[in-house]
Amino acid sequence: MIPRYSRPEMTAIWSPETKFRIWFEIEAHACDAQAALGVIPKESAEAVWTAEGTEFDVARIDEIERVTKHDVIAFLTHLSEIVGEDQARFVHQGMTSSDVLDTTLNVQLVRAADILLADMDGLLDALKKRAMEHKDTVRIGRSHGIHAEPTTMGLTFARFHAEMARGRERLLRAREEVATGAISGAVGTFANIDPSVEEHVCAKLGLVPEPISTQVIPRDRHAMFFATLGVIASSIENVATEIRHMQRTEVLEAEEFFSKGQKGSSAMPHKRNPVLTENLTGLARLVRSAVTPALENVTLWHERDISHSSVERGIGPDATIHLDFALARLTGVIENLVVYPDNMMANLNKFRGLVHSQRVLLALTQAGVTREGAYSLVQRNAMKVWEQGADFKEELLADAEVMDALGTDGVEAVFDLGHHTKHVDTIFRRVFGEV
């Protein structure tokens, strides 16, 4: 995890304190269920909860672990220091360490998903706001980086909104994938613990019982989770790349917000770099890098091997923390993006109307000119624009054959930008349910 690309709320999920807190809750709830079954004394189960208010001493647990070489045992030892050996000896009965560790991981992933969902809501809000604001701000649409036909900046924001809304849906499902817990013992047979304990603990933690586990919760769930983060990260890169393109010197249709006081801005006013979106491009690669190891983690030997564990110690915090940071950063970029409608119009007109040549072709054909004829008419006027810097509309208005076919109104109609924006409302209704 790279501190400068982290935010406290998400980072806290992965702290030792949070981990031990969840461990405690699992053990305490399990004791309740065991007491209800009559397996352990009710007083012991109650006694465990006396530790509820306690801040666990991470340094002390580490100290014990250095001796026992086992993290869960170290924690249980520390817990018994708090609630007393006498009551604590019933804690963890019939359970295996993985029951605690795997259920905890999933609690952490669910919490992480909740933050990410909130992040995406913020991003969706920002995208919608900017889409509405620029619904009718005309800019040139580009295929292959080359001018094609007009579109609007609102449509650009709207499609990012639609993409991120899909991402949110996927994340919801990914959250569901990992919202399971398991308290099923050494090889998942419940040999030494009743399934009702699992049910109780899961209900208390907002999880559902894993229908069938081995020593561990199956890792196809986590693979799907991280693959989903990878897709969302790729969508972030998609948005970031659009902005990087818009900000490049020759295009300059938008800029990341650059505070007045930011050094260097006035002596080199052109030198405003899209560093946030470039950074997001890199962060997307980092988040995506979790996907392959997560896929490789699915295969475990028999009822479990521990190869997945070191991987998850890395990608668990890293992918969620960096994605959280990236979503928040992107939200800020969108909210504050400085849009330049005048530059958009200037770019659109860069080739003095040539962008409409396709429509002229169509209009001529519809007016009865043959395909070849229409093509030749367009071509001779287009070349004047291209080679001599003429204005396309003026040339067409001055071309007798074209005028015969289309007339002034016909020519003017071709250059009417309204033609390209007439279905924007339809599309907005599809995306936002409103206009």
Contacts to a copy of itself from residues 270-309, by CB under 8 A: 270-275, 278-279, 281-283, 285-286, 288-293, 295-309
- List 63, 86, 173, 257, residue binding a copy of itself (CB under 8 A): 173
- List 201, 315, 330, 333, residue binding a copy of itself (CB under 8 A): 315
Q: Which residue's CB is nearer to a copy of itself, number 29 or number 288?
A: 288
Residues 357-416 touching a copy of itself, rule: CB under 8 A, are 357-359, 361-362, 371, 375, 378-379, 382-383, 385-386
- List 142, 172, 335, 415, residue binding a copy of itself (CB under 8 A): 142
Q: How far apart are CA 348 and CA 165, in angstroms?
A: 30
Residue count at the site for a copy of itself (CB under 8 A)? Answer: 143
Q: Which residue's CB is nearer to a copy of itself, number 112 or number 424?
A: 424
Whether residue 78 contacts residue 19, with contact meaning beta carbons closer than 8 Å, is answered with no
Q: Which window, 26-34, 43-51, 68-76, 403-411, contacts a copy of itself (CB under 8 A)?
A: 68-76
170 lines the binding site for a copy of itself (CB under 8 A): yes
188 lines the binding site for a copy of itself (CB under 8 A): yes
Beta strands at 138-143 and 338-339: parallel, antiparallel or unpaired: unpaired
Q: Which residue's CB is nearer to a copy of itself, number 25 or number 177?
A: 177
CA angle 232, 237, 240 (to 5 degrees): 125
Nearest to 340 by CA among 427, 256, 229, 224: 256
Looking at 213-305, list the stretches that DSSP marks H as alpha helix, in order from N- to C-terminal side.
220-247, 275-288, 291-296
Residues 207-236 touching a copy of itself, rule: CB under 8 A, are 209, 211-215, 218, 220-221, 223-224, 227-228, 230-231, 233-235
CB of 283 to a copy of itself, least distance (A): 5
Looking at the chain, the number of H-run helices and the number of E-run strands are 20, 6
CA angle 67, 63, 78 (to 5 degrees): 95
Q: Enumerate the active-site residues.
A: 144, 265
Whether residue 102 contacts residue 217, with contact meaning beta carbons closer than 8 Å, is answered with yes
Beta strands at 138-143 and 146-152: parallel, antiparallel or unpaired: antiparallel
341 lines the binding site for a copy of itself (CB under 8 A): no
- List 159, 175, 200, 393, residue binding a copy of itself (CB under 8 A): 159
Cα–Cα distances in angstroms (integers) from residue 220 to residues 289, 294, 296, 321, in the given order: 17, 8, 10, 21
Strand partners, 146: 143
Beta strands at 180-181 and 208-209: parallel, antiparallel or unpaired: parallel
How many residues would you count in the chain? 435
CB of 195 to a copy of itself, least distance (A): 6
Query: Pattern of binders to a copy of itself over 7-46, x per CB under 8 A?
Result: ----------------------------------------
Q: How far apart are CA 430 and CA 425, in angstroms?
A: 9
